[in-house]
A and B are shown apart, each in its own frame.
Chain A
Amino acid sequence: MTDINAIESKDLTKRYDGVTVVDHLNLTVKENEVFGLLGPNGAGKTTIILMLLGLTEPAAGSVKVFGFDPTHDPIKVKRLAAYLPEKVGFYENLTARENLSFIAELNGISRQETERLTGEVLLEVGLDKSADQAVGKFSHGMKQRLGIAEVLIKKPKIAIFDEPTSGLDPKGINHLLDLIARLPGVGTTVVLSSHQLYQVQRVCNSIGIISKGHMVIEGSIDQLSRDTMAGGNYIIEVETENPGAELVGAIEKIKGVNKVDVKENSLLINTGTDLRADISRAVVNSNFPLIQMKIHEFSLDDIYMKYFQEG
């Protein structure tokens, strides 16, 4: 079922007072993946999300969420989609349970079902002990978790989080990311808008980087790191002792190796495919110790910074 697209936008455009905020954006999110929407502040991430939910109308282009057009069928889209805005607010005079029940009622969930579900989701986000406390007394982290509970109670096909980790402590961030990472397992596609690159890298399968309303790059993280940093190739890092010219020569002879760089005790080998087996054989056969070997992983920071330097 992963070939169904949860979100598909075509030339999506939004203007505010003549200023184009989102410019011919083409975005595809597959079902049951965690998609990271990246970009600096003011890149148009929130506007894109609002258009996905039918909360604001696009100036041009189209967007489909599970085949429904949010502009014409907002109710159908909102039945499938849950949204956690950047600044979540709750009715402070109501308890956590009451806040959730209200949302459940708006979603047409029956009374008995609501009771069962609220208990369930509050336990899941770790708020079961504060369920009957007024939300006004909640800390920021607790409110954020209640926001997640509210997303969970809808059992959405797609959940959209806008900067969900802002203002949370490291423990809170971890807990929240764990909850998000679990969602595709229960059939929920996730769109995570953030500029916390490390967090995005931890939970997302694919990302789209937005800058000034344009999609700069889109794809899976593995693919992107190879495409952007090594021209589509692998970089294999080999740690050994005092590598000499003969070792470099031996490795260069392997078919598929493009380039070998020596850096103190390690070699950086640019290859077209994963040649770790051949390389290790070459190292050992040349009587050099093979201390460690790994495919060099680029962090999302590298990719992100590269794009924003070029842009």
Chain B
Amino acid sequence: MKAIFRKELADYFNSIRFIIFFALIIFAAAAGLFAAYQGIRSAELPEGFVFLGLFTTSGSAMPSLVFFLSILIPIIGIALGFDAINGERISGTLSRIISQPIFRDSVINGKFLAGIVTMGVMIGTTLLLVSGYGLRMIGVPPTAHEIIRLFLYFLLTVFYGAFWLGLAILFSVLLRRVAASLLVSLAVWLFFSFFILMIAPAIANAMAPVTQNSSEAEIIRYVNIQQAVLLFSPNTLFSNATMAMLMPIPVGTLGVLTPAMAQYMLPNPLSLVQSLVLIWPHVTTLVSLSMVCFAVSYVLFMRQEIRST
């Protein structure tokens, strides 16, 4: 597997795709940094979370870095994986590779692992770049606490990317044509990023209609249903987990807060452990989703017959 991993990694790093996305992600880093420059003063960040503000504050017209990443990561994951298997099948290299004395699963494992490492390098570089320049810009060093949070965010992002990579590889195993697997992966991404935002209120409305003079309980029910639907989307899982990790102020992002409750809310950041407790279901779901995607493609690939024609 080492040989395949190494070759795939070399391939990724030499590919035009990688260069384009790397440029894009560097651009995102610059944009995010600029946004933080614009907005960090007025963001009123709690003490001890100023440095993380570099990643989460958006400017007057510029969205924050975490927003950029939440859009870019799925696309990068898809771009790295959509032709992993069927591309090789079409070019005729797959039948040659698997007729060599290697285990068949090392092909798919090597590809998946190389994809994850590539994304890890991309994300890591971005975060480090922003940290470095941000440090010069704001002059506030990160606390140990923030470094841990940042690292956890890094892991989270890699897992999120791994999910999309796994999904794209799954389609590349399932579908014979490269264009088909790319389109289907993008369709899934589009559905979970945008369409579900429109569908969730519709479903909630159908199940628990609210009017101007609905009671509090009805509104809560409506919002709960809407959020439950949204939780099916890995995007929501990721962005909620990101919030809790980097902006640990419980401002109703993870539940309904009635005005009565809001009165008693303390604008205190959550402790690291509490943040973790809060996002643990999200993280496990995200990880298990990537596992499921990978496992299904693994099983399918192992059972598939590979012909050269």
Contacts and interface: CB of A to CB of B under 8 A. Distances in A.
A108 B101 CA distance: 9
A85 B95 CA distance: 7
Contact of B103 (A53, A56, A75, A76): A75
Interface string B65-106: 000000000000000000000001011111111111111000
Interface stretch (A31-39, A86-94, A217-225, A301-309): A86-94
A136 B306 CA distance: 23
A53 to B, nearest CB: 5
B173 to A, nearest CB: 16
Contacts of A86: 308-309
Given A50-B307, A102-B3, A89 B92 contact: yes
B268 interface: no
A93 B93 CA distance: 12
Interface in A285-304: none
A46 B92 contact: no
B44 interface: no
Contact of A75 (B88, B94, B101): B101
Nearest to B4: A106
Contacts of B14: 93
A106 B309 contact: no
A53 B95 CA distance: 11
Given A89-B91, A89-B96, A106 B307 contact: no
A107 interface: yes
A155 interface: no
Contacts of B145: none
A55 interface: yes
Contact of B308 (A81, A87, A103, A105): A87
A175 interface: no
Interface residues of A, number: 29
B41 interface: no
Contact of B99 (A78, A89, A93): A78
B305 interface: yes
Nearest to A46: B307
A55 B99 contact: yes
A56 B308 contact: no
B16 to A, nearest CB: 10
Interface string A110-151: 000000000000000000000000000000000000000010
Given A102-B3, A103-B100, A106-B4, A91 B307 contact: no
A106 B107 CA distance: 11
Given A56-B305, A93-B14, A106-B3, A85 B92 contact: yes
B92 A87 contact: yes
Interface in B113-128: none
A286 B11 CA distance: 80
A88 B96 contact: yes
B299 to A, nearest CB: 15
Nearest to B107: A106
Q: In the complex, which of the residues B3, B101, B309 has the most CB atoms of chain A within 10 Å of its own CB atom?
A: B101
A78 B98 CA distance: 9
Contacts of A50: 305, 307
Interface in A66-94: 75-76, 78-79, 81-83, 85-93
A79 B101 contact: yes
B64 to A, nearest CB: 37
A121 to B, nearest CB: 15
A195 to B, nearest CB: 14
Contacts of A108: 101
A153 to B, nearest CB: 11
Contacts of A93: 11, 14
A233 to B, nearest CB: 42
A107 B100 contact: yes
Contacts of A89: 88, 90-96, 308
A194 B26 CA distance: 54
Interface string B17-37: 000000000000000000000
19 contacts: A50-B305, A53-B99, A55-B95, A55-B98, A75-B101, A81-B99, A83-B95, A83-B96, A85-B95, A87-B92, A89-B90, A89-B95, A89-B96, A90-B92, A90-B96, A106-B4, A106-B97, A106-B102, A107-B100
Given A85-B95, A90-B91, A91-B93, 16 more contacts: A55-B99, A75-B101, A75-B103, A78-B99, A81-B99, A83-B95, A85-B96, A87-B309, A89-B88, A89-B93, A91-B11, A103-B100, A106-B4, A106-B97, A106-B102, A107-B100
